[in-house]
Structure 1
Amino acid sequence: MTDAGNQTDAGRIETGQAETAPAGFASMADQAYAAIEELIVSGILPPRGFVSEKQLSAQTGIGRTPVREALKRLELDGMVTIVPSRGIMVTEVDVKLQLYVLDVRRELERLIARRAARYALPAERERCRAIAGEMLDAARSEDGMRFMHLDQEVNQLLDQCARNPVATQTIRPLRSLSRRFWFQNHHAHSGSLEDGARTHAELMLAIHKSDVEAAAAASDRLMAYVEAYARETLRYPFADHSSADRAAR
């Protein structure tokens, strides 16, 4: 099967669409998912706030059927809770959940980084090099929104280069939870944008150079930064990078 075929199948798996789904529906559900996820991640839809399908449809400019499908995925991802007779409630940011997320995400990110360094195409490697510089520029200008959008592009580029739709599907909700946590807390961290940009850039440059081991090591450093960031934000009393089980006690 070709890469294009793999991507098509992965898209069907990710959106939960059957082979008989109407043409264009899956792509609209994907667009609805991305739009609503950004509203949640950016805090426009605040934790514990309620919203309706009708409101989300009007806010995103997307029909209610794909919005409903996107909300089902977001509920599975832990971003919203659908409450009968009340609407859709955005879930709260939970420190224990975030640390559990990072325990799992660390292993998956290392796998994806290794595969990306091994399987990226020449044009993709050039984009990795370019986006490293763009993230550093966003950090220097303290443009948090641009940084968040570039971070999302980095994730998409990593998945594209790694060519493993199972890993992509599994890690997607973990990244969403991490992105929301970062965006809602980054103003409390002096220098956090530059630290984050540097660790991202190291990873993307390792992939650009096809250095599998350097990419794996850079991925681990990035996850160590993300975990330290979470602990500092919430003033957790653990300075080391031990498992989430210790932190949750």
Structure 2
Amino acid sequence: MTTQAAKEKRSSDAANGIAVPSAEFDSKNAADHAYHVIEARIVQIEYPPDFMLSEQQLGNELGISRTPIREALRRLADDKLIQILPRKGAFVTHVEIKQYLHLLDLRHQIERFAATRAAKRRSEEQARHMHNLINELKEGIMAPDQAVFVYSDKAYKDLIVEATGNPFLGGVIAPMHAHSRRFWYYHRNQWSSHEAELAIERHLNVMEAVAMGDEDAADVAVQKLFEYLEAFALRVLKSEHTI
């Protein structure tokens, strides 16, 4: 990639709300930045399955050295978003539906805990933030699309994780959320306005229950959300087997 192309890529990241590092970035901050940028590109299929990641090219694009890039790639390998092969390089992993179903099974149990605990512990300020997001998402239902769903998916999860007050939960659940968003991006050709509307509604139901502080309703809403997510994944699996 040319120097000009790298600059344009960094400008694009900045425009999308991804902080571009300054010269004063220390190694840890640079590694965190690289991790989040590369993760976002993998999730959004900008880096598709089997795409080879070059430390040198990524360093040029992001304006940081290869050491933090290498650390970011190790973290992404731990998250199973990439695979590092000795003497070959780092490659983006495949999106496998059966693996995704295993992920949903685990996520379901963790998010039941998260939603019910958040409903119990959320502050009034956090509840206000949730109500603001709920209003935004209700407007989005009027013209549902993938972007609204992906935004709702991440925003509602971040708010709920914060509301639990559990400092360990974010690190456990964040990689699962990345895989889930990547699944939706990868299978976006099977989206319809009806699918988007259902997905947003299920997320809204969880958020509303948590905002109201209703633990039982939050538990039921999470159950219905995951019934929908699993049903969609099974429809995708069935469609791929009939092609």
Alignment check: 8 A CA contact 1:189 1:233 kept? no
Aligned pair 1:69/2:71, yes or no?
yes
Distance change (3 Å), C-alpha of 1:205 and 1:24? farther
Give me the identity figure in percent.
Answer: 33
Q: Secondary structure at the match of 2:187?
A: helix
Inter-partner Cα distance in structure 2 for 1:218 and 1:72 = 36
- What residue is the counterpart of 1:94 in the other structure? 96
Q: Secondary structure at the match of 2:45?
A: coil
Q: Residue 219 of structure 1 is aligned with which of 212, 222, 233? A: 222
- What residue is the counterpart of 2:15 in the other structure? none
Deviation, structure 1 residue 107:
0.3
Q: Residue 231 of structure 1 is aligned with which of 230, 234, 238? A: 234
- What residue is the counterpart of 1:28 in the other structure? 30
After the TM superposition, which residues 111-122 of structure 1 pair with which residues of structure 2 at under 5 Å, given as runs?
Answer: 111-122=113-124
Q: Deviations over 1:49-77 (max 9, x none)?
A: 11212222334445433332221111111
Aligned pair 1:151/2:148, yes or no?
no
- What residue is the counterpart of 2:213 in the other structure? 210
Alignment check: 8 A CA contact 2:149 2:199 kept? no
Alignment check: 8 A CA contact 2:30 2:68 kept? yes
- What residue is the counterpart of 1:40 in the other structure? 42
Structure 1 unaligned regions, length at least 5? 1-22, 238-249
Inter-partner Cα distance in structure 2 for 1:158 and 1:72 = 28
Distance change (3 Å), C-alpha of 1:137 and 1:33? farther
Deviation, structure 1 residue 32:
2.2
Alignment check: 8 A CA contact 2:95 2:186 kept? no
Amino acid at match of 2:199: G
- What residue is the counterpart of 1:85 in the other structure? 87
Deviation, structure 1 residue 161:
0.5
Alignment check: 8 A CA contact 1:28 1:62 kept? yes
Amino acid at match of 1:173: P
More moved, 120-129 vs 150-159: 150-159
- What residue is the counterpart of 2:126 in the other structure? 124
- What residue is the counterpart of 1:160 in the other structure? 162
- What residue is the counterpart of 1:6 in the other structure? none
TM-score (norm 2): 0.80
Distance change (3 Å), C-alpha of 1:69 and 1:187? same
Deviation, structure 1 residue 184:
1.2
Structure 2 unaligned regions, length at least 5? 1-24
Deviation, structure 1 residue 141:
2.9
Q: Deviations over 1:102-127 (max 9, x none)?
A: 11110000000011111111111111
Distance change (3 Å), C-alpha of 1:233 and 1:73? same
More moved, 28-37 vs 204-213: 28-37
Give the aligned CA root-mean-square deviation in angstroms: 2.3
